[in-house]
Structure 1
Amino acid sequence: MKQAGYTDTTQKEYLREAYSYLQSLEGLPAEDAGKMNVVGFLVAKQRSTGDRTRNRTLSAIRSFYVALIDFEMANRNPALEVKKSKTEKNKKPVYLEEEELVETLQYIGGRYRSRNIAIFLLMGYCGLRVGEVHRLNLKDFKKGKESIEVFGKGRKWNEIPVPSVLLSYLIEVEAQRITPYSAKEDAFFVSQKGKRLSIRQIQKIVGQTFSAFKEKNPKVTDMKLSCHKLRHSFATMLLRNGVDIRVVKELLGHSSIETTMIYTHVNDEQKKQAMSMVNIPLHAIG
């Protein structure tokens, strides 16, 4: 998985799924398992999860068998004989409107507020994934060029210009950065214990901000807000402001423009404005 460029989070999820699958075989060697063993495991799991989770689990099992075949520990991949579930391709992403995103900023708190603001802005105003924030190193902050280099999915590097407000916070965070416990640690965001700030800690910072925001804003109470929703908000904001979709694709680090297309959704107000231009000729109806 490391050679394929999988993120640390994906590696952990895939390992967890592989262990669960092996336990479901109840002692049957993985190389002797067949299609129905995989289907049985997926069916049992799907009772409490949705189609997307099922497909991710199937991908993990497929990858597991690919590894077994590579190491000459199996001759076939029974998971390839199982079809993926159909999912809703055009499902509208959950996102905050630009004014809501701005309002959220005032609820960022914590002992290390400047650090927390920088983390929030990296996702909400630069579109970084939580894993990319976690992996950000000191050497990736190009202060002179006013940009950051992001190590994203597929082992791809992407240089992103940094807005001036965020730049000032990054400079402040760098100056206040706790000296890491390990001399080899180059993490940009360091925890109180002198270690790289974990994905879980980053999610907690954002989660606390959203919780405080929801308490004062009943209209977003039912929205499932998370780190990734900040990325959705960033992409939506750019496209609403007329940024070329090809530029948005590069900023988000997408390999295909089709992935970026999910952010081209329209809101109810835009639909109303479009329909207000429709003129039904009542006189012709008689």
Structure 2
Amino acid sequence: MQNSSLPSGGSFGPLSPYIKPYLSQIRTQGYAARSIKDQVCALKMFGRWLQRTGREVRDLTEAVTSDFFKGRYRQYAATAALRRLLAMLRRIGATPAAKTARPRPSEQLTCAYERFLLKERDLSQETVTCHRRFVRRFLSEKFGSGPPNVSNLRALDVTAFVQRHAHRHGPAEAKNLLAAIRSFLRYLHYRGLVDRDLSLVVPKVACWSFSTGPKHLASTQVRQVLHHCDRSTAVGRRDYAILLLLARLGLRAGEVVRLNLEDIDWENARITVCGKGGTWAQLPLPTDAARAIARYLRRDRPRCASRRVFLRNKPPLGGFNHGGAISRIVKGALAKAGVVSARKGAHLLRHSLAMDMLRRGASFDEIGEVLRHKCSKSTAIYAKIDLQSLRTLALPWPGGVR
């Protein structure tokens, strides 16, 4: 959509000088021509309303946009367009920055805890986000909207919270809950906000090591999933390249999300992966995965300022926000292939790669090296399913088989 295709007749009121920069922004973000037309119409109505009510661009706030929608049908396109416009105007200094309300005391405590985890503990943003969710719930239930008088916390408060919530989650998520509460209580003691280290009273969740084996697909099922991926569309070719990285290298979902263009060494057929804890590793790039990625980059990847290899297919264009998007791609691929599995996330293909290597005779050390396990216990879970190797360790039944 060119500038000449803007609706004619009338002006955008005080917004007129900012329409071209706005259009340039949303075109770069990949919005379709129909969407751009709807946004332009919304901005024209809003600009004329500003002119009628005697408002200037410097007066714009969220409250002003809410006044505009009073008595009007609030369409999503119009709401989103005004939100993007206001963000752009603030970014270029045409509108004053939003006035941020002073955070509540509980929010101040949570933010200080987050900064501690990020800067002092060097935890990943994903881990901090997980901790924040449980800590906010803990503070909300104990103190409500009032000030968090953490000095009044008692052991019973902690155990009661755990008893109310732990049973609502699976073992893994329950362990995350307990780890978050335990970490937060240690932080309070470290800061001198509580007299005793209440982390010692956080109970443990019943989760026995190696009680269950990792869910995985047979090699034939992995091939079936890859075969049914629709490579006739741009999205399908992107998903096929992602699935190959998961199946051939056992990458984690977050590692695929964080993969940048400069992380691929085409001459030496290697990729650099940012793994858990910010650790970096170089891995060989399989031929079929390299071809799929190259085809996606040449033919299908939209032009975008983002350096991420894989981009969302909907505007605003950019990389995926989190690993959940990769797991949804795997879930969709399983459904298309008609493959039934108890687990449907990205880790399913990681486990499948490990089991396929085990069946082909790879040692646990070799599997751990490919999957980049820091601890041998992480690889030991696959021994539970390697029945052939376990039979060699079994003692004969007393008296023989009858």
TM > 0.5: yes
Does residue 12 (structure 1) correspond to residue 129 (structure 2)? The answer is: yes
Measured in 2, the distance between the counterparts of 1:156 and 1:36 equals 39
Does residue 225 (structure 1) correspond to residue 315 (structure 2)? The answer is: no
- The answer to whether the 8 Å contact 1:141/1:148 transfers is yes
Change (3 A) 1:131 1:76: farther
Change (3 A) 1:153 1:138: same
- The answer to whether the 8 Å contact 2:217/2:352 transfers is yes
2:178 partner SS:
helix
1:30 is aligned to 150
Matches for 1:38-53 after TM superposition, within 5 Å:
38-53=158-173
Matches for 1:1-286 after TM superposition, within 5 Å:
1-3=117-119, 4-27=121-144, 29-90=149-210, 91-109=212-230, 111-175=234-298, 176-180=300-304, 183=305, 185-192=306-313, 193=315, 194-198=317-321, 199-214=323-338, 217=339, 220=340, 223-266=342-385, 270=388
Measured in 2, the distance between the counterparts of 1:279 and 1:83 equals 40
For structure 2, the residue ranges without an aligned partner over 5 or more in a row are 1-116
CA deviation string 1:186-207 (max 9, x = no partner): 2111123221123333222211
Partner amino acid, structure 1, of 2:118: K
CA deviation string 1:137-188 (max 9, x = no partner): 11111112211111111221111111111111122223232222xx4x3211
Alignment size in residue pairs: 273
Change (3 A) 1:44 1:259: same
Q: Percent identity?
A: 25
Q: Which has the larger radius of gyration?
A: 2
Q: TM-score, normalised by structure 2?
A: 0.61
CA deviation string 1:9-33 (max 9, x = no partner): 3222211111111112134523432
Measured in 2, the distance between the counterparts of 1:138 and 1:69 equals 44
Structure 1 residue 93: Cα displacement = 0.6
CA deviation string 1:124-145 (max 9, x = no partner): 2111111111111111111122
Partner amino acid, structure 2, of 1:53: E
For structure 1, the residue ranges without an aligned partner over 5 or more in a row are none
Partner amino acid, structure 2, of 1:210: L
Structure 1 residue 81: Cα displacement = 2.5
Measured in 2, the distance between the counterparts of 1:236 and 1:124 equals 11
- The answer to whether the 8 Å contact 2:274/2:281 transfers is yes
Structure 1 residue 232: Cα displacement = 0.7
2:303 partner SS:
coil
- The answer to whether the 8 Å contact 2:186/2:199 transfers is no
Structure 1 residue 72: Cα displacement = 4.7
Partner amino acid, structure 2, of 1:237: D
CA deviation string 1:21-75 (max 9, x = no partner): 1112134523432322121111111232233322210101122234444555445
- The answer to whether the 8 Å contact 1:158/1:251 transfers is no
Change (3 A) 1:77 1:51: farther
Q: TM-score, normalised by structure 1?
A: 0.84
